[in-house]
Chain A
Amino acid sequence: MATTLSSLQARPATKAALEALLREKKLQAEAPPLRGEDRRHRRVPTGQGEIDGLLAGGFPRGHLSEVHGPVSSGRTGLVLALLARTTRTGSLAALVDPLDRFDPASAGAAGVALARLLWLRGPRGESEAPRPKALAEATAAVATLAGSGLFEIVVLDLAGVSDRERRRLPATTWVRLQRTVEETETALLLVADRHVAFGPGGVSLVFTRTGLRWSAPPGPGRLLTGLGARVSAGRHVLRSAEVAFAAFA
């Protein structure tokens, strides 16, 4: 005899067994996206409990968000954790890197599935500043990637780009990117040294250095074991959390 919904409701033990089965088959909230599912209400988690708590579950889809902070505050570490979490679930991610700063070895160590990451790197050069038009090309590539809807997360790495270089971009750049991404299921993320832009539904994570950890007093055989950072989020009411990044396990 076929099992009906009413009979399942009448027998809570059977329903619980069915739910347990579905949970076992990964049909829970953090499961990989299913074909045809409207995922815009599901955020893109970083996989780090404290930071996901600040972000109410992760970075919102269809919005421009940003991560900013000074050098060595852990911005890149968080981005790699996000890329690792995304690519390990089987989704695709893209990183647009106009200054060519991405280190594949660090990404591999952070757990990024490199086969599912599209990396677009800026032209190589001796100069620290990006080539003229490199930033414009990078933002155009971001628009292409975000508009394709293929990628769960698209990251534009502007850390190290001076304010002067960034201001050469048209003032409407970030509004255009927000408009491009808002009809898609992609989360768009900027990484920068200081605040650049984030969309009306996006989030801004601010990183502050709190200290370095070393394995021993100064001398031979000393190792950098990690760095600490305070992460703040929120538009009006700031919430913050302390996080630690491991350097050598």
Chain B
Amino acid sequence: MYGGLHSPRTLPSEDALLLVARGFTPRVEARGPTLVLLDLHGLGRAWPTPQELGRALLDAAASRALETQAALAFTRTAVLVLARARPGLTIVPAGGEAEALAPLPLALLDLAPEREELLLRWGLRTIGDLQRLPPDGLAARFGPEGPRLRRFARGEDEGVLVPAPVPASFEMTLELDWPVEGLEPLAFLLGRVLEPLCARLIRRGRRAASLGLDLGLVDGSTHRRTLRPAAPSGEPRTWRTLVLLDLEAHPPQDAIQRITARAEPTPAREVQFSLLDPAMPSPERLAETMARLHGWTAEGRGGEVRLLDTHRPGAFAVGTFSPGPATPAPGGSPPLRVALRAYRPPRLARVVLEEGAPAFVAAPGVRGAVTACAGPWRSSGDWWDAVWSREEWDVALADGGLFRLFFDRLREAWFVEGELD
């Protein structure tokens, strides 16, 4: 037996009727936002008569504050038409579908507009009028569509029920008999939550893009953490390591009574490996390594460095380290170049000048007579914002060291910017 549940009013949510129907059977097909079709086979033990089953359906909908009407019949076509046509509960005995549909208006069949208009021009008003047309005549005028139309009008089924997929939930909760304190016992318990959660994700071809962790504490509060690694993962070991590293940095304030892990599913990563290009780093291992370096990256002291588009010396930004696919640079190795080893901040220096050039330098860690120098090289910029203006000198000291000095023309002070090495 099949059931149809229809709401003549606008529903609070699109899946409101689906939720009611899934309380009875998982084989549910949504036919638009206000109509669902239920496969009720095998429910005879719980509801011995169709009347009881139909009443239970209406009561379940009413308990969710939904105004509905229901129909139970042995064909899906009859159920879909009757559920929309008649208020309350309609039950059609086996074989009585055509008779039940006969008095209903033709519009309930949801035919194509041009077909319905043609039938109205023929003088047909009810489904019964269509049932009574001779099948040979319909076939002669409509072709194969004619007999199909007549079977449809008599409430006979074609095709199969296509159940709507049940939305997957990627959430696991573990209630603990005894509260746990410390990360070591928690590591084992996390495995019991994360392993089935990751297995469920993988079974559905998904990975977790992020993981929300709610730790219910003994004092009644909830310690919430959300982890979002550089790449999605379905590896419980990786997630456990990431969670433990995160909890090391952000420990809960009390013993843990309940663990809830919630994954945000995302399609599994598909990578076309190349034979000739370098292998990409494993995203899981990279995420794990970066989590272990959390102390550095959290303070902005670690990551990928990016040069800023400015002439201001020492302008750069440090961001998240997330190397993309390798693209080997063409050409050979660049030649050896002198590099600056920067002092941050530059060291204030005392410089003795002779004939306009530095002759002696004294700064913390740097002191000596200048044996050779090059300069001054003036530069300035950012006059519209934080203006800077300086004269640069490269100086060699008596001890053999080579340093870059600059005279800040705005502050009128000398600084050692760094070593040249």
Residues of A with Cβ closer than 8 Å to B? 25-27, 31-36, 46-48, 70-81, 84-85, 88-92, 100-111, 113-124, 126, 128, 137, 141, 144-145, 148-150, 159-160, 209, 212, 214-215, 218, 222-224, 226-227, 243-247
User: Which residues on the A side are within 8 Å of B278 (C-beta)?
Assistant: 32-34, 89-91
Q: Does B160 contact A (CB under 8 A)?
A: no
User: Which residues on the B side are within 8 Å of A116 (C-beta)?
Assistant: 323, 326
- Determine whether the beta carbon of A35 is less than 8 Å from that of B400: no
Can you list 25 A-B contacts (CB < 8 A)?
A: A32-B278, A47-B332, A71-B401, A71-B419, A72-B421, A81-B334, A89-B326, A90-B277, A90-B278, A101-B342, A103-B340, A103-B418, A104-B307, A105-B307, A105-B316, A107-B305, A110-B337, A126-B345, A148-B286, A150-B282, A150-B285, A150-B289, A222-B374, A223-B374, A246-B338
- Determine whether the beta carbon of B400 is less than 8 Å from that of A209: yes
User: Which residues on the A side are within 8 Å of B372 (C-beta)?
Assistant: 212, 214, 218
Q: Could you say which of A25, A26, A105, A123 has the most chain B C-beta atoms within 10 Å of its C-beta?
A: A105
User: Which residues on the A side are within 8 Å of B282 (C-beta)?
Assistant: 150
Q: Does B178 contact A (CB under 8 A)?
A: no
Chain A residue with minimal CB distance to B316? Answer: A104
CB A68 to nearest CB in B, in angstroms, measures 12
Chain A residue with minimal CB distance to B313? Answer: A105
Q: Scoring B residues 345 to 376 as 1 if CB is less than 8 Å from chain A, else 0, what string do you get?
A: 10000000000010000001100000011110
Interface residues on B, range: 35 or more
User: Which residues on the A side are within 8 Å of B343 (C-beta)?
Assistant: 101
- Determine whether the beta carbon of B301 is less than 8 Å from that of A120: yes
Chain B residue with minimal CB distance to A124? Answer: B344
Q: Scoring B residues 313 to 331 as 1 if CB is less than 8 Å from chain A, else 0, what string do you get?
A: 1101010010110111100
- Determine whether the beta carbon of A91 is less than 8 Å from that of B326: yes
- Determine whether the beta carbon of B340 is less than 8 Å from that of A106: yes
Q: Does B384 contact A (CB under 8 A)?
A: no
Chain B residue with minimal CB distance to A70? Answer: B400
- Determine whether the beta carbon of B301 is less than 8 Å from that of A123: yes
Chain B residue with minimal CB distance to A138? Answer: B296
User: Which residues on the A side are within 8 Å of B292 (C-beta)?
Assistant: 144
CB B314 to nearest CB in A, in angstroms, measures 7
Task: Give 7 new A-B contacts, CB below 8 A, not counting A89-B329, A90-B277, A148-B288.
Answer: A74-B421, A89-B278, A106-B338, A118-B304, A145-B289, A224-B374, A246-B337
- Determine whether the beta carbon of A212 is less than 8 Å from that of B396: yes
User: Which residues on the A side are within 8 Å of B275 (C-beta)?
Assistant: 34
Chain A residue with minimal CB distance to B404? Answer: A224
The answer for the CA separation of A27 and B278 in the assembled complex, in Å, is: 11
- Determine whether the beta carbon of B333 is less than 8 Å from that of A111: yes
Chain B residue with minimal CB distance to A50? Answer: B336
- Determine whether the beta carbon of B318 is less than 8 Å from that of A119: yes
The answer for the CA separation of A70 and B401 in the assembled complex, in Å, is: 8
Known: A88-B328, A114-B305. A212 touches B333 (CB 8 A): no
Residues of B with Cβ closer than 8 Å to A? 273, 275-279, 281-282, 285-286, 288-289, 292-293, 295-296, 299, 301-307, 313-314, 316, 318, 321, 323-324, 326-329, 332-345, 357, 364-365, 372-375, 394, 396, 400-402, 418-421
Known: A104-B316, A105-B316, A119-B305. A27 touches B276 (CB 8 A): yes
Chain B residue with minimal CB distance to A87? Answer: B329
Q: In the complex, which of the residues A77, A101, A105, A120 contacts B296, with contact meaning CB atoms closer than 8 Å?
A: A120
- Determine whether the beta carbon of B336 is less than 8 Å from that of A78: yes
User: Which residues on the B side are within 8 Å of A223 (C-beta)?
Assistant: 374
Chain A residue with minimal CB distance to B317? Answer: A104
User: Which residues on the B side are within 8 Å of A119 (C-beta)?
Assistant: 302-305, 318
The answer for the CA separation of A35 and B334 in the assembled complex, in Å, is: 26
Q: In the complex, which of the residues B296, B304, B314, B327 contacts A103, with contact meaning CB atoms closer than 8 Å?
A: B314
- Determine whether the beta carbon of B332 is less than 8 Å from that of A77: no
Q: In the complex, which of the residues A111, A114, A144 contacts B306, with contact meaning CB atoms closer than 8 Å?
A: A114
- Determine whether the beta carbon of B400 is less than 8 Å from that of A72: yes
Q: In the complex, which of the residues B306, B324, B338 contacts A247, with contact meaning CB atoms closer than 8 Å?
A: B338
The answer for the CA separation of A84 and B337 in the assembled complex, in Å, is: 11
Chain B residue with minimal CB distance to A226? Answer: B338
- Determine whether the beta carbon of B285 is less than 8 Å from that of A148: yes
The answer for the CA separation of A101 and B321 in the assembled complex, in Å, is: 19
- Determine whether the beta carbon of A247 is less than 8 Å from that of B334: no
- Determine whether the beta carbon of A90 is less than 8 Å from that of B326: yes
User: Which residues on the B side are within 8 Å of A245 (C-beta)?
Assistant: 336-338
- Determine whether the beta carbon of A224 is less than 8 Å from that of B394: yes
Q: Could you say which of B275, B285, B307, B341 has the most chain A C-beta atoms within 10 Å of its C-beta?
A: B341
User: Which residues on the A side are within 8 Å of B421 (C-beta)?
Assistant: 71-77, 159
Chain B residue with minimal CB distance to A219? Answer: B357
Known: A92-B281, A115-B324. A224 touches B342 (CB 8 A): no
CB A117 to nearest CB in B, in angstroms, measures 7
CB A74 to nearest CB in B, in angstroms, measures 7
Chain A residue with minimal CB distance to B330? Answer: A88
The answer for the CA separation of A117 and B321 in the assembled complex, in Å, is: 8
Known: A81-B336, A144-B293, A227-B402. A76 touches B304 (CB 8 A): no
The answer for the CA separation of A173 and B58 in the assembled complex, in Å, is: 74
Known: A34-B279, A122-B301. A212 touches B402 (CB 8 A): yes
- Determine whether the beta carbon of B420 is less than 8 Å from that of A224: yes
The answer for the CA separation of A111 and B279 in the assembled complex, in Å, is: 21
The answer for the CA separation of A26 and B418 in the assembled complex, in Å, is: 40
